[in-house]
């Protein structure tokens, strides 16, 4: 998987890079068909914002979160992505299961 981390008005330190990488690995345990991901970390006044776009086959999954702490924003966006990836995986697997059932009839 290709991981791209960008900081807008934020320096992306090795510690932040490893933290984001660890959180995204947790998401990828549920769904291994992610081709690339793009993470944007930014500061808007006093709010820290994290945005993530996951590119999967046939769809892009986007989530963003805002918090006073950057690490908390990363945690929130990882939780949102986790829910979205599980939902996408269920949709993909249910469609393929329905096709197999129709072919058997």
Q: Length of the chain, please?
A: 105
Give the helix ranges, DSSP H, for the chain: 14-28, 70-104
DSSP state of 101: H
Question: How many alpha carbons lie under 13 Å from residue 54 in its C-beta half-sphere?
Answer: 25
Q: Tens digit of pLDDT for each residue in 94-103? A: 766 665 555 5
Predicted confidence band at 105 (pLDDT cuts at 50, 70, 90)? low
102 phi-psi bin (left φ>0, alpha ψ -120 to 50, beta other): alpha
Cα torsion for 98, 102, 104, 105, to the nearest 10°?
140
Cα–Cα distance measured from residue 25 to residue 21, given in angstroms and rounded to the nearest whole number: 6
Residue 4 and residue 17 in contact, taking contact as beta carbons nearer than 8 Å: no
Q: Tens digit of pLDDT for each residue in 33-79? A: 888 999 999 998 899 999 999 998 888 999 999 999 999 999 999 99
**Global pTM?**
0.83
């Amino acid at each position: 998987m290709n991981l791209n981390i960008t900081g807008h008005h934020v320096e992306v330190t090795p510690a932040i890079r490893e933290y984001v990488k660890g959180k995204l690995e947790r998401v990828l345990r549920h769904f291994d068909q992610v081709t690339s991901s793009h993470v944007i970390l930014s500061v808007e006044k006093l709010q820290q914002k994290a945005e993530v776009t996951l590119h999967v086959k046939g769809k892009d999954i986007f989530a963003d979160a805002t918090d006073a702490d950057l690490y908390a924003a990363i945690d929130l966006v990882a939780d949102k992505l986790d829910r979205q990836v599980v939902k996408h995986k269920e949709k993909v697997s249910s469609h393929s299961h329905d096709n197999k059932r129709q072919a058997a009839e």
